[in-house]
Amino acid sequence: MRPLRAPTWLVVCAVVAASIASIPLVYLAVRASEAGITTIAETLGRGRVLQFTLNSLGLAAAVTLASLVVGTAVAWVLTRVRVPFPRVWLLFSALPLAVPSYLASYGWLVVFPTMNGFFAAWLLMTAVCTPYVTLPVAAAFRAVSADMEGIARTLGHGPVRAFFAVTWPQVRPAAAAGALLVCLYTLSDFGLVSMLRFQTLTWGINAAYGASFDRNQAAILALLLVAIALIVVAGERRSRKFAPAGSARMARPRVVSRTFLLALLPLVVASPLVGVAIPLGGLAARLFQAETLREIDPTRLLTAVGSTLGVAVLAAVCAVVLALPIAALAARYRGRLAMTIESLGMIGHALPGIVVGLSLVFFALAVVPSLYQSVAVLVFGYVVLFLPKSIGTVRAGISAVPPRLASVARTLGLSPWQAWWRVTARLAMPSVGVGALLVAIATMKELPATLLLRPTGVTTLATELWSRTVIFEFGAAAPYAAALVLVAALPAVALSGVRGLAREEL
């Protein structure tokens, strides 16, 4: 039975982590308060703001629903159906994580220059985001036995009804965590929607900063985005139920007919095809169309690769450390305090990188000026932006660990901290690893916050790519784009090998 009150040490750690994550919110509140109530009301009442809001909500809802359906279906195929080379298919399903959304849209525009609007943004965003659902749901499927479905079938339930009655409640927390990441990522994305000319709130925020440098107006729009994100987090929490413990006996994949298997595989390859193969094909076409290929500077390229890997590792470690207490509190305890702490931890991912970057510039200059334009502030910005990626997956992993195991450890003489660390944390470690890898991938691809916070002279693959594409040097940008995809693919490959995700070929 879940304790009524959380341990003090856990609450304190979670409050500290949530406070760190809420720094951009404080900045936005200060900026919005400077504008005054009248300006806020006028800004929110404009027709274009309403249109931006509806576009953001519509795109986020459509992408989240499509990613949830496709990601769950792909996870089911890869874990419950006997397919040839299952690890290779799981790796392919994770590859879209290695392609930045702005790079995916650029590759498609090379092939289809007139591509724009809602449908284009929905298609590409769904392809890029589907792995956020596929990977955690695949891990959940691996921890759930199929025996109960068989029992439900003997009671007269059809296969679909048996799945939703027995299996779905056990994998729902992982699916909800993945869907939440998809929704927040879609709300905060700027590169893809701007290249496809679909105006959302992030487009309006960037326009306010870039055109008139109106920070107050941009802060008001960003606060509106935060409010939407908080509603999304609250809705995900309301739909979340603590999953029953999975069976220790793993489900064995079933053998299906070759015709049925051939009908399922296109579903698995749809996301990698749309999100990886076609964009990279477009990039290669642009490269070969260039009249001359500029000489590659190996030293500059290797320096960018080293910087990208270094900040990604630091951000992943720091994000996991901050996510652990928040995720543990949200997974084991209920109440307003736990809900508030989790909500504060999740809002950073709904903010555009430019907003988080400017808020940390403001914070560094006001509080710790000695750290301004340092690697520490850059990594801190990544942690604030991508902390939700760790919170969602770690929370799902902790929720799947039966609380009674820690209680048994307590009866053996362990303290609450020791029982939590030796039992709960270790059993949830695969999910912790998934969260760290997701943060690393997102860090490698992040652009706006990197441009604002990076120390002078420090470049990443994303900034090198951006600096060349803005002046239309597509041939020179190609090596950095290829290197970015390859480097980001490393943690994507690791994701497919995390215990609980990849399965042995049977």
Q: Quick: pLDDT tens for 43-84.
A: 777 778 889 989 999 999 999 999 999 999 888 888 877 777
The per-residue pLDDT for 2 is 45
Kindly tell me the sign of the dihedral angle through the C-alpha atoms of 80, 86, 92, 98: positive
- Please give the average per-residue pLDDT across 461-481, as a whole number: 71
pLDDT band for 145, please (50, 70, 90 cuts): low
Q: What is the C-alpha to C-alpha distance for residues 51 and 349, in angstroms, rounded to an integer? A: 22
Question: What stretches of 212-297 show up as alpha helix (H) in DSSP?
Answer: 215-239, 258-272, 278-289
**Distance, CA of 84 to chain centre:** 29
Q: Quick: pLDDT tens for 355-401.
A: 788 788 878 887 888 887 888 889 999 998 888 888 878 887 787 77
The per-residue pLDDT for 319 is 92
Q: What is the C-alpha to C-alpha distance for residues 60 and 57, in angstroms, rounded to an integer? A: 5
CB atoms within 10 A of CB 413: 8
> Which strand (E) or helix (H) includes residue 350?
none
Which of these ranges, 295-299, 362-366, 433-437, 492-496, has the smallest mean pLDDT? 492-496
- Please give the average per-residue pLDDT across 436-457, as a whole number: 84
- Provide the 8-state DSSP code for 447: -
Q: What is the C-alpha to C-alpha distance for residues 184 and 458, in angstroms, rounded to an integer? A: 29
Q: Quick: pLDDT tens for 284-338.
A: 776 665 544 555 677 888 888 899 999 999 999 999 999 888 888 888 787 788 8
Residue pair 176/239 in contact (Cβ under 8 Å)? The answer is yes
Tokens of 432: 């912790």
pLDDT band for 241, please (50, 70, 90 cuts): low
Distances (CA, A) of 496 to 491, 503, 505: 9, 9, 14
Mean pLDDT of all residues belonging to the chain: 78
**Distance, CA of 383 to chain centre:** 12
Which of these ranges, 78-82, 351-355, 447-451, has the smallest mean pLDDT? 351-355
pTM of the model: 0.74
In the predicted structure, residue 255 carries a pLDDT above the cut 60 = no
pLDDT band for 128, please (50, 70, 90 cuts): very high
- Structural domain boundaries of the chain? 23-497
Strand runs labelled E in 101-243: none
Which of these ranges, 31-40, 109-118, 310-319, 456-465, has the smallest mean pLDDT? 31-40
CB atoms within 10 A of CB 307: 22
- Phi and psi based region of residue 245 (left: phi greater than 0; alpha: psi -120 to 50; beta: remaining): beta
SS3 374: coil
Kindly tell me the sign of the dihedral angle through the C-alpha atoms of 422, 428, 432, 433: positive
Phi, psi of 502 (to 5 degrees): -85, 145
Domain 23-497 has CATH 1.10.10.920: no
The per-residue pLDDT for 252 is 59
The per-residue pLDDT for 505 is 33
Residue pair 501/495 in contact (Cβ under 8 Å)? The answer is yes
SS3 190: coil
SS3 477: helix
Q: How far apart are the first and last CA of the chain?
A: 38
Of 177, 127, 131, 169, nearest in space to 152 by CA: 169
Q: Higher-confidence residue: 313 or 481?
A: 313
- Provide the 8-state DSSP code for 273: I
Which of these ranges, 40-49, 126-135, 282-291, has the smallest mean pLDDT? 282-291
Distances (CA, A) of 256 to 158, 259, 386: 17, 8, 40
- Residue with token string 């989790």: 342
Q: What is the C-alpha to C-alpha distance for residues 100 and 118, in angstroms, rounded to an integer? A: 19
